Amino acid sequence: MKTEVIPYNAAINKPKPLRTGRLGGQVLLWIFLLATAILIVFPIFVTFAGAFMSNAELSTGGRLLPSVWHFENFREAWVQANFSRFTWNSLMLSGVTTIGTLIVASMAAYVCERMTFPGKSLFVAIQASTMFISIGAVVIRPQFELMIKLDLHTSLWGVILILISGHAYIFFILLSFLSGISRELDEAARIDGCSNSGIFFKIILPLLRPGLGVGALFTFCGAWNEYLRPLVFTMNTPDLQTLTVGLSYLRYGASAAVQTHYMLAGAVLSILPLLIVYMIANKQFMQMTAGSLKG
């Protein structure tokens, strides 16, 4: 009986059977990702396209792209809704909230990561509970009554303090970044005579820059899109209203006609600052994503 000997190279180059199950899973994954991307991008595309249409064309529907591009919609939206004032208010609210949140959250994360103190576990647990327990508009009234006692109920500073106090999500982001920074750097700096505040500002903060960039992106976007609290706190002071609240002035014109084209143009104008902030913080965001995938 002869035994067939298979050459070594032929055994290596022998084609492997195709795993149909794995291929089918990849196809389903790509179909799901494509459908998700379409569902996310399509409303944004409709908003941008509708911002250049006339009101009559939007009312009749049936078109994705405008027959005539009306660039004057943006000028009218800017003038009618006093966007210059509302944009400044939104920038002030979002900018101060972002800076304050990063300062408070970074200091809290540094203390919890590097130091031991009574009630540390309880503090972290309270921070975590504020992330998973959300009661929405129910807390508006007690917050407003608290700001009345502080005489901040008719300004944006009350809203800023409330938004800064809700820093738990940024706290845990920075806490995870701090856990990746070696403690030997702290010990070496302490041997050289550096205090805790010096270690934080001279060593920790520069190394924490990617985390601060990601935290700034999330905080700025959240404060910029905030609607209910600025609406409640600025009902009696329209000059202090933010851009999200001011968009409602574009809904009806002088003849009580619905101005959908101006509202879409205003929405596009309100999105642009978020895109700029994302482009600035994109490098830090990608560093965080790459680090999480690597880990």
In the block, tokens 């005579």 appear at 193
Sequence-ordered list of residues with C-beta below 8 angstroms from that of 113, at least 6 positions apart, any chain: 175, 178, 179
pLDDT-derived band at 254 (thresholds 50, 70, 90) equals low
Tell me, yes or no, whether 12 lies in a domain. no
pLDDT of residue 15: 54
CB 266 within 8 A of CB 247: yes
DSSP characters over 185-206: HHHHHHHTT--HHHHIIIIIHH
Which has more confidence, 61 or 135? Answer: 61
Tell me, yes or no, whether 60 lies in a domain. no
Q: How is residue 32 written in tokens?
A: 């799901």
Whole-number Å distance between alpha carbons of 165 and 197: 22
Which has more confidence, 139 or 175? Answer: 175
Tell me, yes or no, whether 59 lies in a domain. no
Tell me, yes or no, whether 85 lies in a domain. yes
Q: What angle do CA 91, 92, 94 make, to 5 degrees?
A: 65
Sequence-ordered list of residues with C-beta below 8 angstroms from that of 277, at least 6 positions apart, any chain: 216, 217, 220, 221
Q: Tell me the CATH number at 124.
A: 1.10.3720.10
Tell me, yes or no, whether 43 lies in a domain. no
Tell me, yes or no, whether 74 lies in a domain. no
DSSP label of 5:
P
- Kindly provide the residue ranges of all beta strands, DSSP E only, lying in the chain, ordered along the sequence: none
pLDDT in tens, 257-280: 677 778 888 888 888 888 887 777
Tell me, yes or no, whether 25 lies in a domain. no
Number of H helices, E strands in the chain: 16, 0
pLDDT-derived band at 284 (thresholds 50, 70, 90) equals low
Q: How is residue 97 written in tokens?
A: 């909230």
pLDDT of residue 53: 84
Q: Which domain holds residue 172?
A: 81-294
Whole-number average pLDDT of the chain: 80
The CA radius of gyration of the chain, in Å to the nearest whole number, is 27
The 3-state DSSP class for residue 81 equals: coil
Q: Tell which residue, 81, 116, 90, 138, has the closest CA to residue 265.
A: 81
pTM score, two decimals? 0.77
Which has more confidence, 32 or 22? Answer: 32
Which has more confidence, 228 or 281? Answer: 228
- How many CA atoms lie within 13 Å of 38's alpha carbon, on the beta-carbon side? 6
Tell me, yes or no, whether 1 lies in a domain. no
- How many CA atoms lie within 13 Å of 85's alpha carbon, on the beta-carbon side? 12
pLDDT of residue 16: 52
Q: Assess whether pLDDT exceeds 50 at residue 290.
A: no
Q: How many domains does the chain fold into?
A: 1
